[in-house]
């Protein structure tokens, strides 16, 4: 299908759009209409140099800006997102493929995040100079928190505006200046941030947005000596490359990487609740979530009934236009992602994995893969072990909680998990034994700004959101001095 295309061959540096030094472009797609809706520059190392230079120039003045004033800027960004609520949600759905209701939820989460860190900036100012006793009768110590410096922020395509808010809001609140690379797959929603920060009056050089791919922008950012900290969300192979690059100069990194999250259903669980949480955990955003609960461990007493309920719920999902109110699940974000998921489906057939999920009629166009439940998947299967990033659910029945916990923890990843149990105390007891950074008990996957986000094992390093999210962009300074007379 064809559509008009917008040429995005500029970079936002020092509050101005300047031509990219790159001559390469890549298409930006509407994954439902399979149409080219824009072309974005691949970016170049010279673009990174210019953005880092701007951020370094702006750093001293931004660092000296009082914390409450920085909070006012963040509140203005939140207001700018609110003003463009409908336009941004529609743009996100068109560029990413997720249903409009999910895009609205994403946008609300981003707004809440900026507002949370606006308040956190004020609180940061109030705790500057906190006094600590030294144990010496004539000495005292004071604590001050200073920004890390210039930070490089790299976000993925599955949650536009949300992933960026989780990084931008605390970094700006802390007094850092930023060089931000959104995904080249979904650059359109993030591009509108440039209008918002300009209207908010953010000083030149504090926020710089670079459009481009990993080779043109991502790798040069990761290696750039002028960037003091890197925060990356995405795949494990790229995250490992970012970490290797950051080792040069001993720069700190925050990494939010992959997952292969379990959902555990006990013998006393409510069957309807379990079905709903399973469907939400694997079909939200068409399964394109690092926290997708793609491994189901269900007690043998409920297994057959839950399998049947899941198959029926998957068969009832309405796949279609992300902008249509009746759509439950949209397409995958790209042909590359669709082929990746199809490869796993083909592998399941080769391995003889069993699925009784009724076949769904797919729309005439769009990068769709219908949801599937595979039953009694061996733990040796690649589908059980690897992150698929699509609506593919692998299930096993278990005899008791101990077996479920052991199988849940038998993974290289430890980002998230869900526990569904009739007894809330039993659910929490199970959750305490799971090796995961985020566990929901009888609940949807909520991630409020005052919470915490991050994983164990190969799922990453550090935490986003909450106080930990702000601390990730701060350095603690302790000053010892004689007591005042």
- 429, 268 Cβ separation under 8 angstroms: no
Catalytic residue among 113, 176, 283, 290: 290
- 29, 365 Cβ separation under 8 angstroms: no
Q: Is the dihedral of CA 344, 349, 353, 355 positive or negative?
A: positive
Catalytic residue among 67, 102, 184, 256: 256
Average pLDDT over residues 170-177: 98
How far apart are the C-alpha atoms of 442 and 419, rounded to whole Å?
A: 6
The pLDDT of residue 485 = 61
The pLDDT of residue 280 = 98
| Range name among 55-64, 125-134, 296-305, 370-379 with the lowest pLDDT average | 125-134
Active site residue 132: no
The pLDDT of residue 4 = 54
* DSSP string over 464-479: BSHHHHHHTTEEEEEE
**C-alpha separations of 199 from 15, 73, 156, 203 in Å:** 10, 10, 25, 11
**C-alpha separations of 296 from 21, 65, 362 in Å:** 48, 49, 25
Longest distance between any two alpha carbons in the chain, whole Å: 81
pLDDT 10s digits, 243-275: 999 999 999 999 999 999 999 999 999 999 999
Q: Report the 10 Å Cβ neighbour count for 83.
A: 12
Rg of the chain on CA atoms, in Å: 23
The rounded percent of the chain whose pLDDT value lies above 90 is: 96
Q: Report the 10 Å Cβ neighbour count for 64.
A: 8
Q: Is the pLDDT of residue 328 over 70?
A: yes
Reported as type and span, the H/E element at residue 406 is helix 401-409
Active site residue 133: no
How far apart are the C-alpha atoms of 92 and 37, rounded to whole Å?
A: 12
Reported as type and span, the H/E element at residue 371 is none
How far apart are the C-alpha atoms of 248 and 69, rounded to whole Å?
A: 34
How far apart are the C-alpha atoms of 386 and 418, rounded to whole Å?
A: 18
- In the chain, % helix, strand, coil (3-state, to 5) comes to 40, 25, 35
The contacts of residue 221 (CB under 8 Å, 6+ apart) are 48, 152, 154, 179, 181, 210, 227, 230
The pLDDT of residue 72 = 98
Beta strands in 320-390 (DSSP E): 372-374
- 278, 253 Cβ separation under 8 angstroms: no
Average model confidence (pLDDT) across the chain: 96
- 31, 48 Cβ separation under 8 angstroms: no
The pLDDT of residue 306 = 98
How far apart are the C-alpha atoms of 418 and 393, rounded to whole Å?
A: 14
Q: Is the pLDDT of residue 3 over 50?
A: no
The pLDDT of residue 122 = 98
Task: Using CA atoms of 320, 263, 408, 333 in order, give the dihedral in degrees to the nearest 10.
Answer: 20
**163-192 CB burial, b ≥16 within 10 A, e <16:** bbbbbbbbbbbbbbbbbbbbbbbbbbbbbb
The rounded percent of the chain whose pLDDT value lies above 70 is: 99
The contacts of residue 407 (CB under 8 Å, 6+ apart) are 262, 295, 297, 379, 396, 398
The pLDDT of residue 55 = 99
pLDDT 10s digits, 340-398: 999 999 999 999 998 999 989 999 999 999 999 999 999 999 999 999 999 999 999 99
């Amino acid at each position: 299908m064809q559509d008009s295309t917008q040429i995005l061959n500029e970079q936002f540096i020092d509050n101005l759009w300047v031509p990219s030094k790159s001559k390469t472009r890549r298409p930006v797609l509407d994954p439902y209409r399979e149409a080219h809706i824009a072309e974005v520059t691949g970016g170049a190392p010279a673009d990174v140099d210019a953005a880092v230079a701007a951020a370094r120039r702006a750093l001293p003045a931004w660092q000296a800006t009082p914390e409450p004033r920085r909070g006012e800027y963040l509140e203005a960004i939140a207001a700018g997102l609110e003003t463009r609520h409908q336009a941004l949600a529609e743009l996100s759905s068109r560029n990413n493929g997720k249903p409009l209701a999910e895009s609205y939820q994403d946008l609300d989460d981003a707004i809440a995040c900026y507002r949370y860190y606006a308040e956190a900036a004020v609180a940061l100012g109030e705790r500057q100079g906190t006094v600590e006793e030294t144990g010496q009768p004539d000495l005292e110590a004071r604590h001050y928190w200073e920004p890390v410096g210039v930070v490089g922020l790299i976000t993925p395509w599955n949650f536009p505006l949300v992933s960026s808010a989780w990084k931008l809001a605390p970094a700006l609140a802390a007094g850092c200046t930023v060089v931000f690379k959104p995904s080249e797959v979904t650059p359109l929603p993030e591009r509108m941030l440039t209008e918002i920060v300009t209207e908010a009056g953010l000083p030149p050089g504090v926020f710089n947005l670079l459009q481009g791919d990993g080779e043109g922008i991502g790798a040069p950012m990761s290696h750039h000596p002028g960037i003091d900290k890197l925060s990356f969300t995405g795949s494990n192979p790229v995250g490992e490359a970012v970490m290797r690059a950051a080792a040069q100069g001993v720069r700190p990194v925050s990494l939010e990487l992959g997952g292969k999250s379990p959902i555990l259903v006990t013998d006393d669980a409510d069957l309807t609740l379990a079905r709903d949480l399973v469907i939400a955990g694997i079909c939200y955003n068409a399964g394109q979530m690092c926290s997708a609960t793609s491994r189901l461990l269900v007690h043998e007493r409920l297994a057959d009934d839950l399998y049947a309920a899941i198959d029926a719920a998957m068969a009832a999902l309405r796949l279609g236009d992300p902008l249509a109110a009746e759509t439950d699940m949209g397409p995958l974000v790209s042909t590359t992602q669709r082929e990746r998921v199809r490869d796993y489906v083909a592998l399941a057939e080769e391995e003889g994995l069993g699925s009784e999920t009724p076949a769904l009629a797919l729309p005439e166009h769009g990068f769709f893969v219908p949801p599937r439940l595979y039953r009694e998947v061996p733990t040796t299967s690649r589908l059980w072990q690897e992150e698929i990033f699509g609506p593919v659910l692998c299930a096993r029945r278990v005899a008791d909680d101990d077996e479920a916990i052991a199988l849940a923890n038998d993974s290289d990843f430890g980002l998230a998990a869900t526990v569904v149990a009739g007894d809330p105390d039993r659910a929490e007891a199970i959750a305490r034994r799971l090796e995961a950074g985020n566990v929901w008990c009888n609940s949807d996957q909520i991630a409020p700004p005052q919470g915490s986000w991050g994983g164990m094992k190969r799922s990453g390093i550090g935490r986003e959101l909450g106080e930990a999210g702000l601390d990730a962009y701060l350095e603690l300074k302790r000053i010892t001095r004689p007591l005042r007379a």
